[in-house]
Amino acid sequence: MKSLFDEVSMKCSKLVTTNYSTSFSLGIRALDRRFHPAIYAIYGFVRCADEIVDSFHDFDKQKLLTEFEADTYEAIERGISLNPILNSFQATVNQYSIEKELIDTFLRSMEMDLYQTNYDQKEFEQYILGSAEVVGLMCLRVFCEGDKDSYNQLKFNAMRLGSAFQKINFLRDLNADFKQLGRSYFPNLNTEKFDEQSKKMIVQDIEKDFKDGLEGIKGLPQGAKFGVYVAYVYYYALFRKIQNTQSNKILTERIRISNKRKCALMLTSYFKYSMGRV
């Protein structure tokens, strides 16, 4: 029965999520259960595409990405794929009417990672849009469950929150991206001369994104609000830790939030949420 294969496919997407991201996994668990399969499916899809361009150095990455894109659209059209990750993703896309434009924009940003090493402001904004903002919109489609008015009202804030998360990833991985992948995402930034002034400018930009993102969280449906807020709290804690870390240390070590700290943050988040402070 296809229902059994669909169930196995969703478990594969969940496995990808839990193995690659502790923060997102805990955030997803805080969502209403009805949202779990779809958000796991979106993350699994995004993660696989990202792995192609970031990790598979001994293979023809352009060919792999081209095949992945073709397989994605074929799966959506046919309503099935023998690739479990794409099978769960197509089910989510078709159930929640996720636009092809969002998927196109995401894949174009993944393609940029194959040849782009330095970004000007326009290219940076284009990459953020595809790699993060449209992923936030995919999730928002799920959370709004067909409510177009809510989606349109929260669209801007969802994009800003996705932008904040991605910029923090860039800042946290500044050294690894440059030394291992030869990439420097922030425009006009000399990675080898990264200093406190450079960090301050980036931090101020991220702070604005976080502010807009939090306003959107307040308007989310109840089943989605707490889970997204937990992800926000985790990333904001990471943001503060990076903000309080000397710029030279950011270039030599990867800043993290311990699992123990994440558990404490989750408890604090639940207290604020249950008290109606979110």
Measured distance CA(90)–CA(76) in Å, rounded: 5
Q: Out of 1.10.600.10, 3.40.50.1100, 1.10.340.70, 3.40.50.970, which CATH number does the structure's domain 2-274 have? A: 1.10.600.10
Among residues 236, 193, 192, the alpha carbon closest in space to that of 213 is found at: 236
Q: Report the pLDDT averaged over residues 40-44.
A: 97
Q: Report the pLDDT averaged over residues 259-267.
A: 85
- Identify the residue with better confidence: 64 or 274: 64
pTM: 0.93
Rounded mean pLDDT of the chain? Answer: 92
Q: What pLDDT is recorded for position 209?
A: 96
Q: What is the pLDDT of residues 134-193, one digit of tens each?
A: 999 999 999 999 999 999 999 999 999 999 999 999 988 887 777 777 788 888 777 777
% of the chain beyond a pLDDT of 70:
100
Contacts with 170 (C-beta within 8 Å, 6 or more apart), sequence order: 177, 185, 186
Cβ proximity of 224 and 143 under 8 Å:
yes
| Choice among 39-43, 125-129, 260-264 with the minimum mean pLDDT | 260-264
Q: Specify the DSSP element, H or E, that contains 95.
A: helix 84-96
Q: What is the pLDDT of residues 187-217, one digit of tens each?
A: 877 777 788 888 898 999 999 999 999 999 9
Measured distance CA(96)–CA(50) in Å, rounded: 23
Tell me the HSE value of 45 on the side-chain side, using a 13 A CA sphere.
32
Residue 38 — very low, low, confident or very high, per pLDDT cuts 50/70/90?
A: very high
DSSP H helical segments within 97-221, as ranges? 100-115, 121-128, 134-144, 148-172, 174-181, 196-218
Measured distance CA(236)–CA(22) in Å, rounded: 15
Q: Report the pLDDT averaged over residues 75-83.
A: 98
Phi-psi region of 79 (alpha: psi -120 to 50; beta: other; left: phi over 0): left
